[in-house]
Structure 1
Amino acid sequence: MEFRPRNYIAEEETHSLTRSAADHHPLSAVPPSSSAPPPPENKLSNSEDANFFDPLRGERRGGDSISIDEAPDRRSAAPYPQAPSKEWSSFKRLLMQKFPVSKMIAVSSVSSSAVCECAAFEKPDRTMLVDELDDVENEGLKVITQQEYVSRLYDLKDEINRAWNSDDRVTALKLSIKVAKLLVDTSVLQFYPTLFVLATDVMDMLGELVWKRIRHKAEYAEDGSMLDILPENFKANNVCFDAKETCNNWFCKVGAVRELLPRIYLELAILPCWRFLLDRPEDNLQRLVMMIRGLADPLASAYCRLYMVHCAQKLHTSDKGHLIACINDLNILFMRPASAKETRHGYLTDKKKLLVTLIDPAIEYIMKCIFDNASKVRVHIDDALVGLRLARNQVDIVERPAFVSIVLHHLLKELPAEILNSHAQDFLHLIQFSKDYTFDQCLNYRLLGFRLGEHRSQIEVLNLVLEEVMQAISQYERLDEFLNVVDAYIDIVLQNQMDGYLSSILKALAMRTSSKEVTEDDSRILQSIMIKLLSRLKDLDEIFALSHFLDILDVMYGRSRNAVNLHILDMATRKGRLRDPAAIQLLFEISQSLHDGIDLSHEKDDYARQLARLISRFVQMVDYGTELEQHLMFLVECRGAFGGINELKETLVHSSNSLATEALKDDKKQSTLVKSCIAFSEVTIPSIPTQVRQLNLYLETTEVVFSSSNWLHY
């Protein structure tokens, strides 16, 4: 078999276009033509300044030309399109705070050529700067300070601005390309969000500069005369040919960038400029989505999609297709099968976990944009669900999970509550089949429970959901996973009075907490569950009657136990008299545990003062009825257990004197009790530090003694 001989040189000459030399670069400032007649000079009146120069006309006196960008544009009705600035600025600030970087960072040779080789930050001329950025010699990594890297990026931004203002747009574009190339470097994962924020600021600045230049081209002629003012919602046919040609030149120049990532970022930066060429500039978004799929690095591609979403907001389009495509692409990105080593040993590298953490903000922001104002437009929600393959009968989730856990988590977070309730079982099945490394499955169960509690659901649906959830979490071996899910669904159980599920949950909690070690984090989750029980039921007798409630309380410790005890004590003191001996004994033990857990000597401590008031109130609310001796024994126990509370000592004396007064009503049968009460008061009063209060209590006790002097003999 022989191949046909080909003359490649002849074929190239046949198919190539005819080329002609250009007098100047299409993106550079247009030099004044020597053949063109000089612009007419204005005839100034005697009252006008002879040095006055109209910025829209010709040349300055002395031959200095003025850029059309310097012309005033206050009357223009077509300002540069802006994305929601508050949301984006807040997002960038939180992004940099979430991923702080160390003082020293290691960058690749590509980044170091743009940053490291300029040790001193004096302002170089633009020719040296461009040559310096093009010089990439060393392989591997270089270590520089974070401050040095950030300062250099700010210098590049200023240099781009100066080059543009001096009509050197070629240099401005070349420097912008170099800044965009920095985003190729993902060698330092933790630093990439900061790099993204700084580099996209430069891209946004370039996009605004290009927009203003093309707009001036559309509104002013070369000689500075006004053509027309573009309206705010102008169409492509409102733009003159010269402006369209300049705009097209910019897109052609950007399209000629060899590297894919810088080319995408630069086109996204000038994305609003498509309005000068097309009536539907949003039609380019799907093409850009396809281009981003060519990026192999997962981190770089995720943040590139994030920037595309930001730039697309400047078009103010209601179409969500590009957003849904980004989420689907990110979902596929995480569905990569685990390596054989990970499958065999069952662990993930720290780098992989960090990668998921870094991409998480991008997924969250895109998902928020999809369902922004979704509660007001139901049609958009339905379209989004169809695009995400979540419409009923659209995908068989049993055969293959539709979402990885991290994407599903943000979907559950952003969907309107009423939509989530109507598709509760579908999302429950999605959670069941999304067992991957990107996010803990138990946290998605937990989020679903909280979201279902935001909206009233049918009891039949809740029963089905709770049954499946309890069955799923019963397989969990870790206590914290089980507690996280129960904490979310206990509200639903209490709101809908599902006593059967409540008993099952408390029984399971008691069994698991008794057989496993309870950590501080576990104790905090138990605190949340117990306080929800106390807040919903409100009747203390009903709470103490719950099976396993006290067993769960016994395994808690530390601040979590104190918080629950304080809540119980507060509930008890808000009701009427306490007459049940079992409840009194339990509250006494709770008060003693709280008293022993803090230092009550600090009177300025609000928590200590609150606890002192609650314990004093508890002692005051106790009522043993006719069992006066038992009541006195209770007061004696309180004096021994809570000796550090001065406020309580006064309460004990008042209670003791009240007991003596009650005993006096029973003639001489209670004379011994009256003597004991008076003796109790006489012993307790000297321990009160304030002399005025001592005197008042002595007077009160003396009145009791005088009242009983007719039949008491000392």
Structure 2
Amino acid sequence: MEFKPRNYTAERAAHALPRVCADNHPLSVSPSPHRQVDVVDHGNSDFFDPLRGLADNATVSEVQDLESTFSEASTQLPTKEWISFKRFLMQRFPASKMVSISSMSHVLMKGVKTYEKSSTSTHLEELDDPEKYSEDGVKVITRQEYVSRLHELKDEINRAWRANDRVTSLKLSIKVARLLMDTSVLHFYPTLFVLAMDIMDMVGDMVWERIKWKAEFAEDGTRICSLPENFQASDICYDAKETCNNWFCKIGSIRELLPRIYLELAILPCWRFLVDQPEDNLQRLVMMTRGLADPLASAYCRLFIAHCAQKLPSCDIGYLVKCVNDINILLMRIVSAKETTHRNSTDNKRLLFALIEPTIEYIMKCIFKDASERQVDNVLVDLGLGRNQVDLFGSLPCVSIVLHQLLKELPAEIVTSNAVEILHIIERSNDYSFDQCLNYRLLGFRLSERRSQMDIIHVAVDKVIQVVSQNNRLGEYLKVVDAYVDIVLQNQMDNHLNTILGGISNRACNKVVTEDELASLQTILVKLLTHFKCLEDVLALNHFLEILDIMYGSSRSIVNMHVLNMVTRNSYIRDPTTIQMLFEISQALHDDLDFVNVKDDDNHPAHLISRFVRMVDYGTEMERHLTFLVECRGAFGSLNELKETLVHSSNCLAIKTLKDAKKHLSFVKSCMAFSEVTLPSISAPIKQLNLYLETAEVALLCGLVSHSDGLLDSGISCLLSLDFADGSRTLADIEGILSAIQKLCSLLVMVPGNPEKGVTYSPNNILSLVNSKSWMTPGIRTRILCTILTLTATLSQNKLPYHVDNREIFGNDLLFFGDSSYLHELVSLSKSVLQSLVDAIEKEPSRAARGSMALEACNCIASSFVLSHGISPICSKLIETAKLCLSASDKYLQSTIKFLDKNLPNPMVAPSIAV
């Protein structure tokens, strides 16, 4: 066997691609005109470019179909909003475990076990302790029994309707509506409302379908007509109108006002069968609700009005404005009522406000949904917040909770242009229906939605800072200033920023900060860290570090993570004071066990700490930098990712030392010692192996051959000890090992051979690994053996393709030039590799894979050895294997055969071989 001589310099020149100077950079913003390409679809109607919009030749029908799709989606939107709103109601106000049964709730008594409770002060007692029912008197049932009974009633109504017993369905529906007159258990009322509304909607749908059927079909089932979506009352036949009118008459005869309103609202769309303007009836229904004395029941009745009105084709929003005005009047009466000294009275009122708030919120959404600017102005005037459309937000009072929902829904341009006037209204609307600070807070967020005039912003922020500075409670102070921090930062109001941070510091000192206050502090500090570009600017802010020291727990950890993320996204960190502060922050983050287990890769604490360590740069003070790495290893020893970073950083320090002539070899040895001590503690085997190779390369570059040999031995030992339990290895693991072994072989080209252990000591260890590990597949084994074969062929050359960039280290081409024993050792290793290579290919079970492996091995042998009589049988056998496994038209196979026919001394045959 004879290795093929190679001239790497000549080969590199022969295979290099010709280079041509380009007129323009390929990423240039303005390429030359002749390089521009126009996209042409050649009239292909199937092609649609989403960036070019609808094609000019798009048919009208296609556009109309698209518009109809959007139309359908928009009609379903109110229904989806209503379903979401009902779910929100039940989640926000979970019902108590026990519910009292009033005299009007006898419909629920059927088959339900009840308990007795005293009627004395039932309302207040249920509020104080809903689960307490030990006293005798008023009957109570469990919440689940109440809900189950309502579901049963819904099923009974449905069954009666399907049995054509519509009188029974109506009677049961009236009984359900009567339940809404009972507000004795305030917490349960939203749940009762949602369950009852499901029944009301079901009844309304059944009545609608019944009348629509009578309008379209005769009694015998013959279709009379098909009503269009926008039908008129004149399109409806007499029988259908008579049936519809009968339903409204029956509902109009209900004695109680509340059930009468609810049932008519349930069938409100049926007015379309009688009149062309069904929305005119809404004004009458709104006026009827003024007869409801209970504020909670009347508010939720108005909520149902807003819901049912969405089912009409179109209607004016004036009736909704009246609903809000009526609720506002009711709440003003409650607010202005004489306060009692009884604590429960105030608590009950606050609970009542909280229960009514969702009704105002939903109605406000309905008012301002798709409202034009003129309609918005009219609404504000109708709500009493302006004398005319020019003078908006006048001096009329508004209950705080109503103002909050109004402010939430107003268009952003109205809010920004009238910010000062809105502030005056907030200042006057100071009642306990809603925390006034939340209105100031909401205004801040609304002002942040869009840019507004600087003079308005300055006046508004000045006013808010003056008002909130008079509040000494930290929680309320934080809620308000949090909403204005973005505005202050965007408009560079440094004086206000200092005022805000000083106010926080003064109110938080000598005080235990609550969880809610910590959350607000966290938000404010994160906004500061996000706004500024470098940490020094943040640290220069007055009171920032004081506020940071106040924080603790998860909020402190989140801020710490943002600090680390901020400093590591920019340039290197060189200031010693900053480094020490960040080291302490990293320690605190490392010690928080909850955050050590975070699974977000980009913001994982270990990742952030590693990035911080990687970005530290002590400049010429390399000893101080190495000391810093030692401190990090002691402080963050449990973070595997950090250990990898420490080894990388230590190796970088060693390389930097080479560029500094004043540094001595002793410091490089210190860096190597640090890496050698750190490497064994890295748990990921493949990463550990790659770091061993990296460190060995650095040691070799620094002239520390003995260190390099020791690190390579450790890396190979790591490979030899590597094992996988059955089923535990993955393709990524195997590919990682293969890549590491190929890198190791590339490195061994530069490493001087060890005369004591033999120049093939390391390649022999790799071969031993290949032959001993059962988890290696034949395919991976073949690729590794080809790599070893290429290594031996490279080491046999009179001039190696590359050398260590260190004049004091000689390559094997100089150390063993003309040494026959050196070549004999390489040939001996190659024979062992060849035999193992043939065996590995024969063990591959897949025919296609076996053929590809044979071709790969054959080409590797042909490029490594002179194609003599000793090599010819091996190549012939591999080609025969490839022929049996691959198609005769395989181009790789054909080119390989052509090459071998040209270079082999004899025609290709496949005799038995003995290597």
Would you call these one fold, judging by a TM-score over 0.5?
Answer: yes
Name the residue aligned to 1:270: 267
Cα distance in 2 between the residues matched to 1:197 and 1:666: 78
The correspondence of residues 245-284 of structure 1 with structure 2, limited to 5 A, is 245-284=242-281
More displaced stretch, 280-289 vs 83-92: 83-92
The percent identity for this pair of structures is 63
In the TM superposition, residue 502 of structure 1 has moved relative to its aligned partner by 1.8
Task: Pick the aligned partner of 2:297 from 295, 300, 322.
Answer: 300
Matched length: 607
Task: Pick the aligned partner of 2:82 from 63, 80, 88.
Answer: 88
Name the residue aligned to 1:560: 555
The structure-2 alpha-carbon separation of the partners of 1:456 and 1:256, relative to structure 1 and needing over 3 Å to count, comes to same
Name the residue aligned to 2:173: 176
More displaced stretch, 464-473 vs 408-417: 408-417
Name the residue aligned to 2:425: 430
Name the residue aligned to 2:619: 625
3-state DSSP class of the match of 1:335?
A: helix
The structure-2 alpha-carbon separation of the partners of 1:660 and 1:273, relative to structure 1 and needing over 3 Å to count, comes to closer
The correspondence of residues 222-237 of structure 1 with structure 2, limited to 5 A, is 231-237=228-234
Name the residue aligned to 1:29: none
**Equivalent position amino acid for 1:274 in 2:** W
The correspondence of residues 515-534 of structure 1 with structure 2, limited to 5 A, is 515-534=510-529
3-state DSSP class of the match of 2:152?
A: helix
In the TM superposition, residue 91 of structure 1 has moved relative to its aligned partner by 2.1
**Equivalent position amino acid for 1:487 in 2:** D
Cα distance in 2 between the residues matched to 1:170 and 1:527: 61
The correspondence of residues 578-617 of structure 1 with structure 2, limited to 5 A, is 578-598=573-593, 610-617=604-611
Cα distance in 2 between the residues matched to 1:382 and 1:328: 16
In the TM superposition, residue 453 of structure 1 has moved relative to its aligned partner by 0.7
Check whether the contact 2:385–2:392 (CA below 8 A) recurs between aligned residues.
no
The structure-2 alpha-carbon separation of the partners of 1:663 and 1:325, relative to structure 1 and needing over 3 Å to count, comes to same
Check whether the contact 2:266–2:308 (CA below 8 A) recurs between aligned residues.
yes
3-state DSSP class of the match of 2:101?
A: strand
Check whether the contact 2:386–2:392 (CA below 8 A) recurs between aligned residues.
no
The structure-2 alpha-carbon separation of the partners of 1:608 and 1:215, relative to structure 1 and needing over 3 Å to count, comes to closer
The structure-2 alpha-carbon separation of the partners of 1:628 and 1:464, relative to structure 1 and needing over 3 Å to count, comes to same
Name the residue aligned to 1:462: 457
3-state DSSP class of the match of 1:336?
A: helix
1:360 equivalent to 2:353? Answer no
3-state DSSP class of the match of 1:575?
A: coil
3-state DSSP class of the match of 1:322?
A: helix
The CA deviation string for residues 320-351 of structure 1, in whole angstroms up to 9 with x for no partner, is 01100111111111112558874657885443
In the TM superposition, residue 85 of structure 1 has moved relative to its aligned partner by 2.4
In the TM superposition, residue 611 of structure 1 has moved relative to its aligned partner by 2.6
Check whether the contact 1:431–1:444 (CA below 8 A) recurs between aligned residues.
yes
The structure-2 alpha-carbon separation of the partners of 1:708 and 1:396, relative to structure 1 and needing over 3 Å to count, comes to same
The structure-2 alpha-carbon separation of the partners of 1:660 and 1:467, relative to structure 1 and needing over 3 Å to count, comes to same
The CA deviation string for residues 143-182 of structure 1, in whole angstroms up to 9 with x for no partner, is 2233433333333334334444454443333222222211
The CA deviation string for residues 572-610 of structure 1, in whole angstroms up to 9 with x for no partner, is 2222222222222222222222222238997x9557993
Task: Pick the aligned partner of 2:91 from 92, 97, 100.
Answer: 97
Name the residue aligned to 1:16: none
More displaced stretch, 89-98 vs 478-487: 89-98
Cα distance in 2 between the residues matched to 1:445 and 1:372: 24
In the TM superposition, residue 241 of structure 1 has moved relative to its aligned partner by 5.0
In the TM superposition, residue 659 of structure 1 has moved relative to its aligned partner by 4.2
1:193 equivalent to 2:190? Answer yes
The structure-2 alpha-carbon separation of the partners of 1:583 and 1:269, relative to structure 1 and needing over 3 Å to count, comes to same
**Equivalent position amino acid for 1:307 in 2:** F
Cα distance in 1 between the residues matched to 2:424 and 2:695: 73
In the TM superposition, residue 694 of structure 1 has moved relative to its aligned partner by 7.8
More displaced stretch, 517-526 vs 664-673: 664-673
In the TM superposition, residue 508 of structure 1 has moved relative to its aligned partner by 1.9
Name the residue aligned to 2:491: 496
The CA deviation string for residues 186-210 of structure 1, in whole angstroms up to 9 with x for no partner, is 1222222222222223323333343
3-state DSSP class of the match of 2:179?
A: helix
Name the residue aligned to 2:446: 451
Name the residue aligned to 1:639: 633
Name the residue aligned to 1:480: 475
Cα distance in 1 between the residues matched to 2:173 and 2:410: 38
Cα distance in 1 between the residues matched to 2:221 and 2:573: 91
Check whether the contact 2:561–2:603 (CA below 8 A) recurs between aligned residues.
no
3-state DSSP class of the match of 2:139?
A: strand
The structure-2 alpha-carbon separation of the partners of 1:581 and 1:162, relative to structure 1 and needing over 3 Å to count, comes to closer
Task: Pick the aligned partner of 1:706 from 704, 707, 712.
Answer: 704
Cα distance in 2 between the residues matched to 1:389 and 1:635: 69
> Gaps spanning 5+ residues in structure 1: where?
1-80, 121-138
Name the residue aligned to 1:34: none
Cα distance in 2 between the residues matched to 1:224 and 1:367: 45
CA root-mean-square deviation: 3.5
More displaced stretch, 139-148 vs 341-350: 341-350
Structure index of larger Rg: 2
3-state DSSP class of the match of 1:106?
A: strand
The structure-2 alpha-carbon separation of the partners of 1:106 and 1:696, relative to structure 1 and needing over 3 Å to count, comes to same
More displaced stretch, 418-427 vs 462-471: 418-427
TM-score by length of 2: 0.61
3-state DSSP class of the match of 1:84?
A: helix
Cα distance in 1 between the residues matched to 2:369 and 2:553: 42
Task: Pick the aligned partner of 1:329 from 308, 326, 330.
Answer: 326
Cα distance in 1 between the residues matched to 2:651 and 2:221: 101
Check whether the contact 2:232–2:276 (CA below 8 A) recurs between aligned residues.
yes
**Equivalent position amino acid for 1:565 in 2:** N
**Equivalent position amino acid for 2:110 in 1:** E
3-state DSSP class of the match of 2:401?
A: helix
The structure-2 alpha-carbon separation of the partners of 1:587 and 1:252, relative to structure 1 and needing over 3 Å to count, comes to same
TM-score by length of 1: 0.76
Cα distance in 1 between the residues matched to 2:394 and 2:185: 39
Check whether the contact 1:653–1:697 (CA below 8 A) recurs between aligned residues.
no
3-state DSSP class of the match of 1:590?
A: helix
Name the residue aligned to 1:371: 368
3-state DSSP class of the match of 1:516?
A: coil
In the TM superposition, residue 358 of structure 1 has moved relative to its aligned partner by 2.0
Check whether the contact 1:600–1:608 (CA below 8 A) recurs between aligned residues.
no
The structure-2 alpha-carbon separation of the partners of 1:462 and 1:228, relative to structure 1 and needing over 3 Å to count, comes to same
Cα distance in 2 between the residues matched to 1:203 and 1:459: 51
Check whether the contact 2:672–2:695 (CA below 8 A) recurs between aligned residues.
no
Check whether the contact 1:83–1:314 (CA below 8 A) recurs between aligned residues.
no
Name the residue aligned to 2:536: 541
More displaced stretch, 630-639 vs 408-417: 630-639
**Equivalent position amino acid for 1:645 in 2:** L
The structure-2 alpha-carbon separation of the partners of 1:257 and 1:499, relative to structure 1 and needing over 3 Å to count, comes to same
Cα distance in 2 between the residues matched to 1:652 and 1:433: 62
The structure-2 alpha-carbon separation of the partners of 1:174 and 1:594, relative to structure 1 and needing over 3 Å to count, comes to closer
**Equivalent position amino acid for 2:313 in 1:** H
Check whether the contact 1:83–1:313 (CA below 8 A) recurs between aligned residues.
no
In the TM superposition, residue 674 of structure 1 has moved relative to its aligned partner by 5.7
In the TM superposition, residue 538 of structure 1 has moved relative to its aligned partner by 1.8
The CA deviation string for residues 415-458 of structure 1, in whole angstroms up to 9 with x for no partner, is 12112112212222221122222221111111111111111111
Cα distance in 1 between the residues matched to 2:190 and 2:329: 22
Check whether the contact 2:178–2:259 (CA below 8 A) recurs between aligned residues.
yes
**Equivalent position amino acid for 2:250 in 1:** K
Cα distance in 1 between the residues matched to 2:452 and 2:589: 40
In the TM superposition, residue 295 of structure 1 has moved relative to its aligned partner by 0.6
3-state DSSP class of the match of 1:437?
A: coil
Name the residue aligned to 1:11: none
Cα distance in 2 between the residues matched to 1:539 and 1:242: 78
The structure-2 alpha-carbon separation of the partners of 1:600 and 1:645, relative to structure 1 and needing over 3 Å to count, comes to farther
Check whether the contact 2:154–2:199 (CA below 8 A) recurs between aligned residues.
yes
Cα distance in 2 between the residues matched to 1:667 and 1:226: 102
Check whether the contact 1:214–1:243 (CA below 8 A) recurs between aligned residues.
yes
Cα distance in 2 between the residues matched to 1:672 and 1:405: 75
Name the residue aligned to 2:111: 118
**Equivalent position amino acid for 1:706 in 2:** L
In the TM superposition, residue 683 of structure 1 has moved relative to its aligned partner by 5.1
Check whether the contact 1:483–1:522 (CA below 8 A) recurs between aligned residues.
yes
3-state DSSP class of the match of 2:333?
A: coil
